[in-house]
Structure 1
Amino acid sequence: MDGLQKRLSSTGNGSVQRKLSLTLLLAILLVAAVAGMFSFHSAFGDAHELQDDVLRQVARIMDRQHLSPDGPVGEAHDQGGDEEARVIGRRLGQLPSSPGVDTGGPLPLRSTLADGLHTLALDGERFRVLVRTTSAGERIAVAQESAFRDEIARDSALRTVMPLLLLVPVLLWAVADLVRKMFRPIAALARDIDRRSEQELHPIEDGHVPAEIRPFVVAINRLLGRVAPSVDAQRRFVADATHELRSPLTALSLQAERLAHADMSGPARERLAVLCRGIEHSRNLLDQLLSQARAQASTAPPAAPLSVQAIYRRVLEDLMPLAEARHIDIGIEGTQDAQVWVGELDMIALVKNLVDNAIRYTPECGRVDLSVGLSQGHAVLRIQDTGPGIALAERARVFDPFYRVLGSEQIGSGLGLAIVQAIASRIGAEIRFGGGGDAESTGLCVEILIPVPNAPAPWRSPANPAHAA
């Protein structure tokens, strides 16, 4: 009983297309089987009826031509022909003159048989016998072996059913293909919805959707219409709250800087340094929250492509003081450039967060290299450092907001890679990690693969490396 319930539940939760196809195929098979059986039996009966007509015609000819069934015509048979195919004629009441039917003798028929058709078992074999009274008053019998008649009737019936048996597989394939094509718009709609990001809450196009699915699409559009304002309100709240909090934190930072110039004891100055670091950390957190809110917000497509080299230079101008403070050798490798169709703010935020992480997690006197290349229709942005890298077990979680790698001594909020992931998802880019996956290797290489129209297929590595600080 439990197994039956499981099968029923699995069938109830299955594909409508699969169930419809299976139902139609079973119905066609059932109808074809019933039609085939009816056609077979009908053709089989018609063949027997024709064979009975042959016996009637033979008896009629014998009556009109006054042929004697007791002479050579009635008992003789062709030794070279098919013995089963012979038609035997004899006069009723005559005793058999030979041992039996198998040796070519006459049929042992009773003289009391009524006129008409009979199916009799004679000498262990079945015969179809027609009894007739001639115009001269004699009673004659014309017979044929039933096995031969059945074989002919069966062959005729099979020839009648054969076209149906050949066309049923074609019909099954045609129905399955028709059902698959009918459900193709639904599958295309599902793929279109599945490819959407969480920011794409615009209504679904229902122009090419079947009428049976259109109410469902309309309901989804109404739900998206209710969800979109709520999501936008949450994003605006985060952005507005972050913006409003920046002013008091800036004021606190200024007050802390003024207080640092005042005379105070050593312990007080140490506590002031801790306070300044906390204020700076809060300011960085607010900046990243604002960047994340912008990254998650949908933006209009860019009007023109951007130069990756130009984005690299702008990011280095902003982060060069941090790199110099940590004595990090940072620069751009090579002169290879790529043009990407991405918003300027998105590209700056994406590259800046990656470079900022590379600088912060690379030990002092380390190295951070930026490069770009083209490979198989993608612009490949590469940021490589000489830091500790990210363990393989941690790489699946580093994109979670506020998650930080265990054992890290750097002060951060854990939002940098979450922002990178949000931007990459929206622009259709792919993020890859390399290096730093085990205890023996050091450094981390982050690659961002951005689709580029008409990009050369082979990878072009940076030419003439010129590390610019």
Structure 2
Amino acid sequence: MDGVKRRLGQSLQLRLSIWLAIAVLLSAVAAGVFSFKAAFHEANEIQDLQLKEVAALVTANNVQFMEGGSMRYVPDFEAEAKVVVQRLSNRSVQGLVNLPPALPDGIQTLTLNGREWRIVVRTLAPGVRVGVRQQTSDRNEIARNSAVATLIPFVVLAPVFVGVVFLLVGHMFKPLRRLASELDARPDHDLSEIYVTGDAKLPAEIIPFLVANNRLLGRVAESVALQRRFVADAAHELRSPLTVLLLQAERLDLSEMSSQARERFTALRTGLMRTRALVEQLLTLAHVQEANDVQASQTSVAQAFRRVLEDLIPIAQAREIDIGVSGEADVWVPASEADLGTMLKNLVDNAIRYTPSGGRVDLSIQSADSRTSIVVEDTGPGIPADERDRVFDRFYRVLGTGQSGSGLGLSIVQTIATRIGASITLGDATWADGRGGLRFTLTFPEMDPPAALADSDHKRPMNFEPIA
């Protein structure tokens, strides 16, 4: 019940539909009452007219005949509603109540012997007066039946009108629902103006709200751009002095120093290298966030694998990690060479960093339902399930791994993937020898094969050459 009340209080469409439905029902009730009264009154007028017509048929010559006939005639239905023709006199007539002879001419209502009658009195000739009467209870029953018949359209059509109200209101709010769906489907980085697509036209009352939202989005976009430029400028300005410091550290490394000084110098150089890596990651993140106008292109995965392995195999060999590519098919994916290389380098570097010595890192390609996925698996400790959604946050690092890092690598991958329409998921690695580990799956949207590869079914062998 609380949920219904909350929905009723928050939903403009539901409130508008309910109030319009109430208005329709109240209008139907008012119209029904008016129609019933009008039909009831008209039915009584028609019966009055019938009494007058019967009275007009009575003459001084046939009054006796019609009086006797009305006493003998009893209709098959509504027996109590028969019309009685009777002369006004002081004498008693068997089976009839006496009508006072002093009644005035015209139509009137009388109570005789505890019953109410509607009677028309006429003077036919001097000394000859006649009354044509009918019980009002029976007349009213006939009038009610006739009036009730007029209520049938209201009873039938009122629910129909209520349903039409709900349908019309729902149709009027359809452009708003479509706009809400489009906004909800927008990627996080899209702060462009809101436009109504298709043939849907928003109500005039919503346009000022939409304009205000567009202005707000513009201000937010300017603020975000300013923040990104500041980060990029700050990182760029920091890179030069850090490079100089590292060069000085390399020169200082050649100098003679005590073991205690050497230990402190090593910690200092490690900190400088870590700071430079953080600055480079910040510059990369700022670059990929600003690269919204990059033209769509297609890149060979094999070539991207080659470049990444050329850069990272020395690091993997130093840690005694077996790294390679499984599978021999090459595919093209809808991403620029720089974007694909950046994503793969961060994923593979992350896998090497967290894989213990003697472990393994594999890169592979999977195709299913016209979609291509790049899989990076390692034999590292993995990430707990409750932390997998947070590893894409900036500067977030899983505790207890003993590894240093900036916490920006996966955030960069997520930013690029969102911009190009790809998706990235985490899961448990499945190795034949039962070892655990982490599995990154980067899935790209569907694409048409490049014209150059159309005749080769969009695939070709990878043919990696040994890397010295």
Q: Tell me the TM-score normalised to structure 1 length.
A: 0.85
2:139 is aligned with 1:139: no
- Pair 316,69 (structure 1): closer, same or farther in 2 beyond 3 Å: farther
For residue 214 of structure 1, report the CA deviation from its aligned partner.
2.3
Matched residue SS, 1:53: helix
Amino acid at match of 1:72: G
- Aligned residue in 1 for 2:454: none
What is the aligned counterpart of 1:227 among 198, 202, 220? 220
For residue 124 of structure 1, report the CA deviation from its aligned partner.
5.6
- Pair 80,242 (structure 1): closer, same or farther in 2 beyond 3 Å: closer
What is the aligned counterpart of 2:408 among 397, 415, 423? 415
Q: Contact between 2:330 and 2:461, CA under 8 Å: does it hold in 1?
A: no
Amino acid at match of 2:442: I
Alpha-carbon RMSD: 3.2
User: Which string of whole-angstrom CA distances, capped at 9 and with x for unpartnered residues, describes residues 320-378 of structure 1?
Assistant: 11111111111122134443322332222222211111111111111111122223353
User: Which string of whole-angstrom CA distances, capped at 9 and with x for unpartnered residues, describes residues 280-313 of structure 1?
Assistant: 2111111111121122224224342222333222
What is the aligned counterpart of 1:172 among 162, 169, 182? 162
Deviates more, 1:250-259 or 1:169-178: 169-178
2:317 is aligned with 1:324: yes
- Aligned residue in 1 for 2:382: 389
Distance (Å, rounded) in 2 between the aligned partners of 1:241 and 1:149: 98
Distance (Å, rounded) in 2 between the aligned partners of 1:340 and 1:150: 86
- Aligned residue in 2 for 1:100: none
Matched residue SS, 1:63: coil
- Pair 158,310 (structure 1): closer, same or farther in 2 beyond 3 Å: farther
Distance (Å, rounded) in 1 between the aligned partners of 2:369 and 2:208: 42
2:18 is aligned with 1:28: no
2:453 is aligned with 1:451: no
For residue 140 of structure 1, report the CA deviation from its aligned partner.
2.2
Q: Contact between 2:118 and 2:135, CA under 8 Å: does it hold in 1?
A: yes
Distance (Å, rounded) in 1 between the aligned partners of 2:207 and 2:66: 85
Matched residue count: 448
Distance (Å, rounded) in 2 between the aligned partners of 1:348 and 1:272: 34
Q: Contact between 1:330 and 1:468, CA under 8 Å: does it hold in 2?
A: no
User: Which string of whole-angstrom CA distances, capped at 9 and with x for unpartnered residues, describes residues 165-186 of structure 1?
Assistant: 3333333333333333333223
Distance (Å, rounded) in 1 between the aligned partners of 2:462 and 2:298: 25
For residue 47 of structure 1, report the CA deviation from its aligned partner.
0.8
Distance (Å, rounded) in 1 between the aligned partners of 2:372 and 2:30: 64
- Aligned residue in 2 for 1:52: 48
Distance (Å, rounded) in 2 between the aligned partners of 1:126 and 1:463: 106
- Aligned residue in 1 for 2:292: 299
Distance (Å, rounded) in 2 between the aligned partners of 1:108 and 1:296: 107
Matched residue SS, 1:407: coil
Matched residue SS, 1:354: helix
- Aligned residue in 2 for 1:189: 179
Matched residue SS, 1:358: helix
Q: Contact between 2:288 and 2:412, CA under 8 Å: does it hold in 1?
A: yes
Distance (Å, rounded) in 2 between the aligned partners of 1:310 and 1:123: 114
Amino acid at match of 1:22: I
Distance (Å, rounded) in 2 between the aligned partners of 1:182 and 1:74: 65
What is the aligned counterpart of 1:14 among 7, 10, 13? 10
Amino acid at match of 1:259: L
For residue 21 of structure 1, report the CA deviation from its aligned partner.
2.7
User: Which string of whole-angstrom CA distances, capped at 9 and with x for unpartnered residues, describes residues 67-111 of structure 1?
Assistant: 2268531211247554134212222334252xxxxxxx3245444
Q: Contact between 1:302 and 1:342, CA under 8 Å: does it hold in 2?
A: no
Distance (Å, rounded) in 1 between the aligned partners of 2:369 and 2:138: 75
Q: Contact between 1:333 and 1:466, CA under 8 Å: does it hold in 2?
A: no
2:83 is aligned with 1:87: yes
Q: Tell me the TM-score normalised to structure 2 length.
A: 0.85
Amino acid at match of 1:172: V
- Pair 267,153 (structure 1): closer, same or farther in 2 beyond 3 Å: same
Consecutive unaligned residues in structure 1, runs of 5 or more: 1-6, 98-104, 456-461
For residue 421 of structure 1, report the CA deviation from its aligned partner.
2.1
Amino acid at match of 2:410: L
- Pair 304,416 (structure 1): closer, same or farther in 2 beyond 3 Å: closer
Distance (Å, rounded) in 2 between the aligned partners of 1:380 and 1:64: 110
Q: Contact between 2:67 and 2:85, CA under 8 Å: does it hold in 1?
A: no
For residue 250 of structure 1, report the CA deviation from its aligned partner.
1.7
For residue 139 of structure 1, report the CA deviation from its aligned partner.
2.7
For residue 57 of structure 1, report the CA deviation from its aligned partner.
0.9
- Pair 333,30 (structure 1): closer, same or farther in 2 beyond 3 Å: same
- Aligned residue in 2 for 1:442: 436
Matched residue SS, 1:451: coil
Amino acid at match of 1:59: A
What is the aligned counterpart of 2:70 among 59, 71, 74? 74
- Pair 366,441 (structure 1): closer, same or farther in 2 beyond 3 Å: closer
Amino acid at match of 2:124: T
- Pair 131,245 (structure 1): closer, same or farther in 2 beyond 3 Å: same
Deviates more, 1:382-391 or 1:125-134: 125-134
- Aligned residue in 2 for 1:351: 344
Q: Contact between 2:60 and 2:128, CA under 8 Å: does it hold in 1?
A: no
Distance (Å, rounded) in 1 between the aligned partners of 2:237 and 2:75: 117
- Aligned residue in 2 for 1:370: 363
